[in-house]
Structure 1
Amino acid sequence: MRSRRVRRAGRRMTAVVGATVLVALAACTADGGGDGEVDGLEQTAGSMETFEADQQFKATEPVNFSMLWTDWPESPIKDSWQLFDEIEERTNVSLDLTNIPFSDAVEKRSLLLSAGDAPYIIPLIYTGDERSFAASGAVLPLSDYEEYMPNFQKYVEEWDLRPMIDNLRQADGKYYMMPGLQEVSVPVFTLLVRKDVFDEVGAPIPQTWDELRTGLEKIKAKYPDSYPLADGFEGASMLNYASHAFGTRAGWGFGDGTFFDEESGEFVYAGTSDGYRDMVEYFRGLVDDGLLDPESFTATNDGAGTVTEKFAGEKVFAASGSNGTVQEFSTALDETVGKGNHEVVQIAPLGGEAGQVVEPRNFWHGFMVNAEAKDDPHFIAMLQFLDWLYYNPDAREMLQWGVEGETYTKSDDGKFTLEPGYSLDSFNINFEAGTDIEKDLGFASQVLAGGTESRALKESYNSPQFVEYIDSVLSTRTPRDPFPPAPLNEAELEQASLLTTTLTDTVNTNTLKFILGERDLSEWDAYVAELEGQNLQGYLDLVNGAHKRFAESNG
């Protein structure tokens, strides 16, 4: 097995501090490479002369590319991982990894880029992560090189994602990250409910937040010592998926705080909108009536008294979670109420005054490329390799399942089965049967797997219940239209960052106070005035000015 050079980023950055990030990023080329001329057309060493969608990429000579790797606490990287050897065997590409810990990955990534020490390939990038690096020119405008990525182009068109790709464009009209592409758009976190208990009290599975309240009231009457509803993520998860039904943004999805108002054609501030107030009032009512565990907004799902423990103890009957949480809750209930005596299901996001809408989620984590890579003799080979790695169906299957005939088999009807002696414990597949293909072999990794997925691949490793959840979302919910682009330039980004830090902190603090009853809703106007005193209008002027400028420049 070929050894791999794994570098620990912390050893190279001990003298770099936060202020250096701003200075060094500002010192990078300000135009982001966006002069309309594509460099690197002659940097063809190792590249395939013809490279088409769904074709196996293999460099014409051995090449080595540097990549940033985030170490997940549950599955820290091992030099013996088969994943990297399989990539090398198929592509003739070896990877020189720089490792950073998950706990401070965002900060470490920024420090590496600012210090000029970043690897060429920077994975695990979500939309928005690239903005500051794009404005400073630290990363490449990948839209300039799309012609070298036929798999990306094919699936963007087949899955009708071009409008969303165009929304990634920055102030110069170019986009600087390539996202993971999802064929189907379904929220990862929604509400999990004890269906058997809802059935017991005569409450149907709710379709709206008002229907949920009715069901919770019936459960409270049957189980008076319970708080039927809870969130194990300090409220941030529940407010995120609830906010869309109220026509706003909140919690994990609050982002920069803006929400595009179709009627006015301008961005407004979510945290001061009527929908946000209605959402806060709704959850305040649940707390007042003992239907929502107030610890949901102050505690996380770890340690004593977790939501999982409360679910197992029949103190909670509905809570935030993902497909994996369904299994976690079910396993806990097996120990307390017995197998076969409960049914936990994940339900489609609830509707409300804004309709039966969900957040568009056709993008997942993708990658950026260090601007220095364009001068590498193997630059075109790198683009072809990334296109294969991130968008080729065979590559995506390998990244998730390993090697066909060795770690898994695939039937004629597309069903994946792990071979005896192999498990994927994080998805409860052959749990603890032997070699975990994620922890022991590197497949199904949080860094590379799961970014781009066809519906079939997504369903292949999830439970039948999650497939039912996908069907329910696709058949009953409508994705909200993506917001139009409003990319800020470098100076505006710095100004906006200062403003949003203060504004978001005020929103989060007062959202908690309003919901928990520590501040009366009669003080809503005073809260709005506090935000206005923090130059809220100046921030909105920045965003709407950028929106108008981009529209005028790009048609």
Structure 2
Amino acid sequence: MSDVFGRTPFRPTRRGLIGISIAASSALALAACSDDDGGEVDLDAQNKGAMDDFAADMQFKATEPITLSVLWTEWPDLPITDTWQFFTEIEKRTNVKMEVTTIPFSDATDKRNLLLSAGDAPTVIPLVYTGEESSFVSSGAVLPMSDYVDRMPNFQKYVEEWDLGGMIDNLKQADGKYYMVPGLQEVSVPVFTLVVRKDVFETVAGGLPETWDEMREALVKIKAEYPDSKPLADGFEAQSMLNFASHAWGARAGWGFGNGMVDDGSGKLEYTAVTEGYKQMVEFFRGLVADGLVDTDSLTASNDGSGGGSVAEKFANDLVFAASGSAGTAIEFAQALSATAGEGNFEVLQIAPPGGPFGQVVEPRNFWNGFMLNSEIQDSENFLAILQFLDWLYYNPEARELIRWGVLDETYTKAADGTITLNPEYSLDAYNINPGAPTDIQADLGWSNSVFADSSESRALKESYNAAAFVGYIDSVLSTRTPREPSPPAPLDEMELEQSSLLATPLKDTVDTNTLKFIMGERDIAEWDDYVAELEAQGLQQYVDLINGARERFEEENS
């Protein structure tokens, strides 16, 4: 999910987006790095509290107490408290006390950017997605992390073990450095796909569809059996479905639109929204709408029911049988169906995104949220210790298990084969584990919190808290779908960022407005050429030339 600059926004719901991500790696960097004054930052001279022998898979503990300021995004349904066991346990284990500055989820991006621009940001800025750091590079507000990752042994180890090194170019800015480190995940599958009533698809439609054409045939059969239904829905203002569907046509759309550029097959980039593949995608969904197969309210309203009943409610009342969603959405749909159809009378399943003319493909391997550091950390006597702590927190397997499950043998147990079981007096309601237990490890203790828990995970850890059906989803994607190659990197310098902002925003607005108009039938597809002409009048060619110029420069400088 990305905006016009390729940045991934904050999640639309805490529960709806359960993180499946892949991160990037780094080349070894110099231990001594330039600071803002052109001098040398000697990490070994700024090592107060650091461990002399810190290595991968080792418990970090500062040699003296450290207080670390952290920016914390607060979801409305998960208010933070300083009494959370999350904070006290991490301080006990690491000798690092987190001092949090909270910002509300509702405008977290704006608040974060304002703090950084004003020089008032805390040291650690979590929940950062690739591209979001770009606007702070020229000002020097954030640290060039690539200069320091050689002092992060856990990061280095799992980049190598999980074969993530090839993603590094997409992190680099125009100066060849990268300014955030992402969450590393062992497996990469789309977070959002279609959540379907498996029982209905099998009994009415003859099976689960593998392609969008097969999906159309299935929807026609389901519509005939349930004439009051509009069997396909989105629930995320069309942004989710167009995101995962677009790859089947070799396009990019919705949350995944990014900067709008795709490889044209010759090594150059073209604007996806004027390609033949994008047009074919639009025509396909227009056909579904015209035949009454799509809940059009769900294309213009969010999942909260403002469009005349939530998608979950429609799912529960046999009005929708396939909708955009994540593992968390599947849980919500199943809970809603339990109240209407009754337990055991239905089966809800995530399926691999259907294929199409471009093949059985899904989104490229991608990143999930990581962190940036306020560049003022370069002046800290605890600089090295903080790097070690964050390397442990984000990438050490025991730390990741702690952040997800809490304290071993207190909140959960672990069998010899690695199976994790939450103790019966604790619940994890977000994943429907031990519902009704008196203490929720997320809401009451701060474990599995939305700021840190979803960032870095092994496959085993991911499977430990997800339902068996989600494990099956991972297997189905990995065995039947091929990730697309990522778009070639084209990092922009400061002046180009300003130019692209002026051009990209109105172009994207025109694309979004007209894509939905075409799909809804409010604009005739016969006017496609007029739509393209409107984009050209807004500076489309200038924008394409700008991005391709940056791409060519980056290739020359990094060949």
- The aligned counterpart of 2:476 is 472
Task: Indicate the SS of the match to 1:385.
Answer: helix
Single out whichever of 32-41 and 234-243 deviates more from structure 2: 32-41
2:224 maps to 1:198? no
Partner of 1:381: 385
- What amino acid maps onto 1:396 in structure 2? R
Is structure 2 residue 397 aligned with structure 1 residue 393?
yes
8 Å contact kept, 2:492–2:550: yes
Q: Match for 1:71 among 63, 74, 85?
A: 74
| Structure 2 counterpart of 1:448 | 452
Q: How does 1:250-265 map to 2 (within 5 A)?
A: 250-261=253-264, 263-265=265-267
Give CA deviations for 1:35-59 in whole Å, capped at 9, x if unaligned.
7965544211111112110011111
Shift in Å, 1:34: 11
Out of 287, 290, 314, the position equivalent to 1:288 is 290
Query: Counterpart in 1 of 2:131?
Result: 128
Identity score, percent: 67
Q: Alpha-carbon deviation of 1:545? A: 0.8
Structure 2 counterpart of 1:14: none
Deviation larger for 153-162 or 250-259: 250-259
Hey, what does 1:219 align to over in structure 2? 222
User: 2: distance between equivalents of 1:509 and 1:298?
Assistant: 11
Kindly provide the amino acid, as one letter, of the partner of residue 469 in structure 1.
Y
Matched, 1:185 2:188: yes
Q: Equivalent of 2:432, from 416, 423, 428?
A: 428
Whether the 8 Å CA contact 2:35–2:378 is kept in 1: the answer is: no
1:148 touches 1:384 (CA, 8 Å); kept in 2?
A: yes
Superposed displacement of residue 504, structure 1: 0.6
Q: Distance in 2 between matches of 1:258 and 1:34?
A: 37
Which residue matches 1:25?
none
Aligned to 1:55: 58
Task: For 2:398 and 2:327, locate their aligned partners in 1 and report how far apart those are by CA, in whole Å.
Answer: 25
Is 1:508 the equivalent of 2:504? no
Deviation beyond 4 Å, 4+ runs, structure 1: 31-39
1:494 corresponds to 2:498: yes
1:266 pairs with one of 256, 265, 268: 268
- CA positional deviation for 1:134: 1.8
Q: Is 1:112 aligned to residue 115 of structure 2? A: yes
The amino acid of 1:311's aligned partner reads: F
The answer as to 2:145 corresponding to 1:142 is yes
Tell me if 1:332 matches 2:336: yes
Which digits, 9 at most, give the CA deviation of each residue in 1:216-269, with x for residues without a partner? Answer: 0111111112101111111111000000111011011112211122x2211111
User: Which stretch of the first structure deviates more once superposed, 291-300 or 35-44?
Assistant: 35-44
**For the residues of structure 1 that align with 2:112 and 2:342, how far apart are their CA atoms?**
46
| Structure 1 residues 437-459: Cα deviation after superposition (integer angstroms, max 9, x where no partner) | 11111110110001000000000
Partner of 2:164: 161
What are the residue-to-residue correspondences of 1:406-425 with 2, within 5 Å? 406-425=410-429
Superposition RMSD on alpha carbons, in Å? 1.4
Q: How many residues align?
A: 524
Deviation at 1:371, TM superposition (A): 0.6
CA distance in 1, matches of 2:364, 2:41: 32
Per-residue deviation, 1:33: 5.4
Q: Is the 8 A contact 1:136 1:490 kept in 2?
A: no
Extract unaligned runs of 5+ from structure 1: 1-30
Given candidates 230, 239, 251, the residue that maps to 1:236 is: 239
Q: Matched residue of 2:190: which SS?
A: coil
* SS of alignment partner, residue 130 of structure 2: coil
Supply the distance in 2 between the matched residues of 1:166 and 1:91 (Cα, whole angstroms). 33
Q: 1:175: Cα distance to partner? A: 0.6
Structure 1 residue 136: Cα displacement: 2.4
Give SS of 2:505's match: helix
Residue pair 1:69, 1:123 contacting (<8 A) in 2 also:
yes
Amino acid at match of 1:374: Q
Q: Is the contact made by 1:190 and 1:348 (CA closer than 8 Å) also made in structure 2?
A: yes
Q: 1:253 to 1:541 in 2, by over 3 A?
A: same
* Equivalent of residue 319 in structure 1, options 318, 323, 328: 323
The answer for the alignment partner of 2:301 in structure 1 is 299
- TM-score, normalised on structure 2? 0.92
| Counterpart Cα distance in 1 of 2:284 and 2:500 | 31
SS at match of 1:172: coil
Contact map agreement 2:361 2:482 (CA 8 A) in 1:
yes
How far apart, in 2, do the equivalents of 1:183 and 1:141 lie? 25
CA separation in 2, counterparts of 1:59 and 1:539? Answer: 49
Q: Secondary structure at the match of 2:450?
A: coil
Q: 1:448 to 1:482 in 2, by over 3 A?
A: same
Q: CA deviation at 1:86?
A: 0.9
Asked if 2 retains the 8 angstrom alpha-carbon contact of 1:196 and 1:342, the reply is yes
Give the C-alpha shift of residue 432 in structure 1: 2.5
**SS of the residue aligned with 2:487?**
coil
- Alpha-carbon distance in structure 2 between the residues aligned to 1:318 and 1:165: 36
TM-score normalised by L of structure 1: 0.92
Partner residue in 2 for 1:553: 557
**Contact 2:243 / 2:256 at 8 angstroms: preserved in 1?**
yes
| Aligned amino acid, residue 268 of structure 2 | E
Q: In the alignment, what sits opposite 1:44?
A: 47
- Provide the rounded CA distance (Å) in 1 between the counterparts of 2:38 and 2:173: 14
Q: What secondary structure, in the 3-state scheme, does the structure 2 residue paired with 1:167 have? A: helix
CA contact (8 A) 1:193 1:318 kept: yes
Residues 122-162 of structure 1 show CA distances to partners (whole Å, capped at 9, x for unaligned) of 00001111111123221011000011100000000111111
